Amino acid sequence: MSVSLEIRSLTKRYGEQTALDSVSLALEGGAVTTLLGPNGSGKTTLIKSILGLLRPDGGELLCGGEPCRIPYPSRLRRRFLYIPDDPIVSEYLTGRENLEYLAALYGAEASPARLEEILAKYGLAEASGKLAKDYSRGMRQRLCLSSMELYAPEVLILDEPTNGLDVLAIRQLALLLRELAEAGKLVLVATHDMTFAKLVSHRVAVIRRGEVIEQGEIALFTARYGSVENAVFTLLQEGAA
């Protein structure tokens, strides 16, 4: 059975400002769901609430039917892999050393053959001996994603993953995330990049001023509005009227 993530009426306020307004989403493993919305719409606040980095003011979150209560226990935290908009790596370790370090933290197998297999799978074999500070942004993302091979998280969450990526790297990332979803992972991506959304998404949720105003299969958005771009533009314009 694939993992599920259920968000029920999640609310977050900062003083008088409502950052999330009764957001509800039901997500399942085996699909990439993309949160689409302009800057300031609540995408990052929602992600940080899901991860337990922010304490919501109302609503609840269930992962695999298990309530997520802050602070999350380690067994729950290990179900998530989070890559922020600036991927975090140990810059003065090589790619291989980064994986060795993480393997030691997770108590995972880290034989040289296993590490080479992981690095090759994520296109990092040739750069494995270089310091991570010299990696491109796309390489840093792939290094972060490769760490999942050491402890098998079920939920992958990425915040604005295409910032600073060229066209080829964006396409490579989209293909990789779809492959991971089709292998059973639950993938949630927050972006305002329409091109990337079309490449990567199985499902789409449009968020505006802290509210999810429409969600569903990407094919339904295309059928109803003609394209994802038209859908987002129309829905955001309706809210501005």
How do residues 98-124 score in pLDDT, each as one tens digit?
Answer: 999 999 988 887 899 999 999 999 999
The answer to whether 210 and 19 have CB atoms below 8 angstroms apart is yes
The answer to whether 150 and 102 have CB atoms below 8 angstroms apart is yes
User: What is the per-residue pLDDT across 169-225, written as a single tens digit (0 to 9) for each?
Assistant: 889 899 999 999 999 999 999 998 889 999 999 999 999 999 999 999 999 888 988
Among the four given CATH numbers 1.20.58.220, 3.40.50.150, 3.20.10.10, 3.40.50.300, the one describing domain 4-79+154-240: 3.40.50.300
Radius of gyration, CA atoms only, the chain: 18
CA-based nearest residue to 144, from 187, 196, 102: 102
Report residue 63 as tokens.
């992962």
CA-based nearest residue to 59, from 1, 15, 4, 19: 19
pTM, two decimal places: 0.90
Strands 17-28 and 4-14 turn out to be: antiparallel
How far apart are alpha carbons 66 and 61 in whole angstroms? 8
Kindly report the backbone phi and psi dihedral angles of residue 124, in degrees, each rounded to the nearest multiple of 5, phi listed first. Answer: -120, 5
How far apart are alpha carbons 240 and 157 in whole angstroms? 29
How far apart are alpha carbons 69 and 163 in whole angstroms? 31
CA-based nearest residue to 46, from 82, 2, 16, 77: 82
Domain residue ranges in the chain: 4-79+154-240, 89-152
- What per-residue confidence (pLDDT) applies to 239? 56
